[in-house]
């Protein structure tokens, strides 16, 4: 039963992470207004929390409720999956830093400013994150079928 609950929480966290990133993509457009800028700031914060929850529930599954840590550590697809998740985390730094720079303007009740070039770059990074996140279930499905096991 604990295995099923751990798997469920992991899947919910993943869906939430993806939904928040899609929402961020939808909210981020020019011209920016105060309400959307504040929402972007909050959604990005929630995205970070959801990413942490994905990491914690994934670690719990790998270490305690899955096939055993040895199985995962000896699976190249698991390494690819974790590596891709790290890439998404690193990519997410740019939009987060951009939104954090808006904080003083938002506290003052003003619309933050962003150049069209910077806006395009933020949007591109979010799209790359979405594409990478869409690749993770494929790696998980292949791994669940026993692929990626390294010879010992």
Q: What is the pLDDT of residues 112-130, one digit of tens each?
A: 999 999 999 999 999 999 9
Residue 2: its pLDDT value, please? Answer: 86
Indicate the range of 31-35, 100-104, 143-147 predicted with least confidence.
Answer: 143-147
What total of structural domains would you count in the chain? 1
The stretches of 28-73 forming alpha helices (DSSP H) are 34-60, 69-73
Check whether 25 has a pLDDT greater than 80: yes
In a domain, 27, yes or no: yes
In a domain, 69, yes or no: yes
Structural contact between residues 130 and 95, judged by C-beta atoms closer than 8 angstroms: no
pLDDT tens string 55-95: 999 999 888 887 888 888 899 999 999 999 999 999 999 99
* Cα four-point dihedral sign 29, 51, 135, 132: positive
In a domain, 22, yes or no: yes
In a domain, 129, yes or no: yes
**Segments forming the whole domain that contains residue 78:** 2-142
CA-closest candidate to residue 112, choices 36, 42, 46, 24: 36
H or E stretch covering 8: helix 2-27
Q: Which two tokens stand for residue 51?
A: 């990413």
H or E stretch covering 119: helix 116-144
Residue 92: its pLDDT value, please? Answer: 97
């Amino acid at each position: 039963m604990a295995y099923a609950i751990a798997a469920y929480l992991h899947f919910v966290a993943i869906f939430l992470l993806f939904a928040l990133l899609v929402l961020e993509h939808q909210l981020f457009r020019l011209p920016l207004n105060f309400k959307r800028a504040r929402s972007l700031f909050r959604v990005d914060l929630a995205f970070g929390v959801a990413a942490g929850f994905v990491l914690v529930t994934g670690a719990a599954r790998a270490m305690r409720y899955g096939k055993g840590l040895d199985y995962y550590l000896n699976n190249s697809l698991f390494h690819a999956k974790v590596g891709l998740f790290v890439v998404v985390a690193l990519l997410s730094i740019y939009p987060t830093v951009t939104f954090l720079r808006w904080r003083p303007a938002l506290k003052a009740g003003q619309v933050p400013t962003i150049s069209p070039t910077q806006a395009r770059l933020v949007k591109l990074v979010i799209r790359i994150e979405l594409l990478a996140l869409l690749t993770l279930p494929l790696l998980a499905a292949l791994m669940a079928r026993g692929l990626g096991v390294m010879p010992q």
